[in-house]
Chain A
Amino acid sequence: MIRTLLSGDLPRSRVLALLLAVILTCLAFAPFLFPGVRTVDTAARICIFIVLVASYDLLLGYGGIVSFAHTMFFGMGAYGVALTSTHMGRGFDALAIGSITGAALAAVLALLIGLFSLRVRAIFFAMITLAVASAVAVLVSQLSGLTGGEDGLTFKIPRELGPAFKFGKETFDGALFGVKLNGKLLTYYLIFGGSALLFLALLRVVNSPFGRVLQAIRENDFRAEAIGYKVVYYRVTATCLSAAIAALSGSLYAIWLRYVGPDTTLSMTIMIDILLMVVIGGMGTIYGAVIGATLFVLAQNYLQNLMGVLSSMTEGLPLLPELLSPDRWLLWLGVLFILSVYFFPSGVVGRLRGQR
């Protein structure tokens, strides 16, 4: 049963399996285990980023394709939900139509970029996606009539998903284990369920014959072509799939935040975060996304506090407080990034699997 669910790709390391089980349990029961607005928010973020990073891993780890446009697709899903919810009024139909249109448009755009640039070579693709993504980000912040510009869009989601909606009054007296049964809880489980489904779907994709061909192409595209696989076809399909799933995770993010803006969905910072999560977790292992996203989001939320403490402790010294200020978090991330590419190329998952 579990084997079928995981498409035959078991963790293959006891420590890894244990870690994954702990993360899964924590995420599945987050509202009950860690009641509190901030912790539940962190858990939801982890769920969404796991899917986003896993979809990027399909490209980078399995296809060997470096794209810098992944946040663009993420943003398309988010803006899809935001725009339909603004124009069609709150409702589940608006959410569904927004997510599906966003994903479809993302796939079409990925198809165009892919057909246009994947024929040539990997480096072209990286540079072209960077250029296109930055153009789109500027465009979104300029077209303020449609997208709300830099301010972004705040929108309403169905009443059933809002904190004002209460249920279970008769049977459970409105609370379960001391946790209030309200719409926010429902939203969390919508995010969790949606992310779990998308993650399992990705696991299915990479363990299918399609995923194997992608890996072959990553290792040696010349030989793959010689065996008779149409390399461009596989690469473009992987790009489209990954774009559509990224867009869906963007829709989930928009539903959770009830807001979209260029900073939360399209910025280069998020793209760098995604890259880091993939590298830390381990490229080419979808499970790496789980570990990478969890570690990263936790660190982002709690390490910055620690840096603040360290910065105030070193107050008298020259330069050191500046280097340790919580705003310079990206600096240490950059250092960590380089070090992990050098010394930790297979990431946490690769390391754990290696010493079985």
Chain B
Amino acid sequence: MSTAPEHSPTMARSSVADRLAPYAPLMLVPVLAIAGLIAVQNPASWLTLTVSGLAMGMMIFLMASGLTLVFGLMDVINFGHGAFVSVGAFIGISVLLTLGHLTNAPSLGLNLLAILAAVLAAMAATAVMGWAFERVIVKPVYGNHLSQILVTMGGLIIAEQLIIVLWGPEEIYFTRPEALKGALTFGDAAIEKYRLVTVGVGLAVFAAMRFVLRRTKIGLIVRAGVQNGEMVAALGYRLRLVFIGVFIAGSALAGLGGVMWGLYQEVITAHMGNQAMILIFIVVIIGGLGSVEGCFIGALLVGLLQNYIAFVEPKLALVSNIALMVAILMWRPMGMIPVVKAK
């Protein structure tokens, strides 16, 4: 419930600080990058760290964006979101491994074809899984946060164990396709090719999401639904259908994120979704629940900070995310760009 507007409007131009305030979260990323440059002191290593931080941030964004939209739209908290990440990674990597003749070929085109096949397979599988997950697990517990948390947690456990049943308990090691191995050098800085690809994919997905959300009718309904679902439903839109669509799209994005994450680390384990979940939650919280932009900025902050700290003071890297979350929540208790009102 918001308060009524003031009845004595003032004509005074607002101060610079006031006009900059809405952009403050956006400014945090360059500010952090500059702070990183001061802390690291060596421009070449700073460039390497920044690119890998951005790459990591993009992957976290891919995994987290679906979760934040689902929460904003239907007020469903999905603790099982990490399951899509693991399943996506396992399916994608299995496809890549079976297409060994394509990935080992020195031709860029064949490599990309293999990766494309892997990504599509992973996204299709996680989309189907998302649909089933919504049908079987989430549907009976709408409107009850406690049951949602418990039940989706159960879903995560089952998915993790099924992965172990199907793929075995050992972690799977592999190498990236030929074309994505190695690094480009700019002066003293070495930048792995794969990280550049990741940044590119992340930016493309973000741009596509923004386009869909800002410029299309579906996006309009989704955004309106996040703001006030009841009103949208009352206007005659079938919000449930939109919601299922968002859930499936979010699951597919998490699957894509899982493949990218697996290729980044060159090892996949059944617990990787569980571990990713923690980063995803931090990002979703500091971004502000329900906000895609906040999620994007939050993911970049987490990725950059973790890489800088790991370089400057490795022991602190583990707690840097928590420290960032505490700092952001002290500044804005609802996250950087809150969309959903407190309930």
Contact = CB atoms under 8 A, between A and B. Distances in A.
Interface stretch (B94-102, B207-215, B244-252, B314-322): B314-322
B278 A330 contact: no
A279 interface: yes
A342 B147 CA distance: 8
Given A131-B322, A328-B165, A120 B334 contact: yes
B68 to A, nearest CB: 12
Interface in B143-162: 145-147, 149-151, 153-158, 160-162
Contacts of B162: 331
Contact of B157 (A126, A139, A327, A330): A330
B343 A121 contact: yes
B319 A135 contact: yes
Interface in B297-343: 315, 318-319, 321-322, 325-326, 329, 333-334, 342-343
Contacts of A337: 150-151, 153-154, 157
Interface in A112-131: 116-117, 119-124, 126-128, 130-131
Contacts of B141: 341-342
A142 interface: yes
Contacts of A331: 157-158, 161-162, 165
A77 interface: no
Given A116-B329, A121-B342, A338 B281 contact: no
B304 to A, nearest CB: 18
B77 interface: yes
A331 to B, nearest CB: 4
A58 interface: no
B77 A338 contact: no
Contacts of A338: 137, 151, 154-155, 158
Contact of B151 (A123, A328, A341): A341
B50 to A, nearest CB: 24
B-side interface size class: 35 or more
B281 A130 contact: yes
Interface in A338-352: 338, 341-342, 345
B140 A342 contact: yes
Contact of A66 (B146, B161, B321, B343): B146
Given A131-B281, A331-B162, A342-B140, A66 B149 contact: yes
Contact of A130 (B165, B278, B319): B278
A4 to B, nearest CB: 33
A134 B162 CA distance: 23
Contacts of A327: 164, 169
Interface string B265-280: 0000000001101100
Nearest to A271: B153
Given A142-B315, A345-B147, 19 more contacts: A117-B329, A120-B329, A120-B333, A120-B334, A121-B343, A127-B285, A128-B281, A131-B282, A131-B321, A131-B322, A134-B278, A135-B278, A323-B165, A328-B164, A331-B165, A334-B155, A334-B161, A337-B154, A341-B154
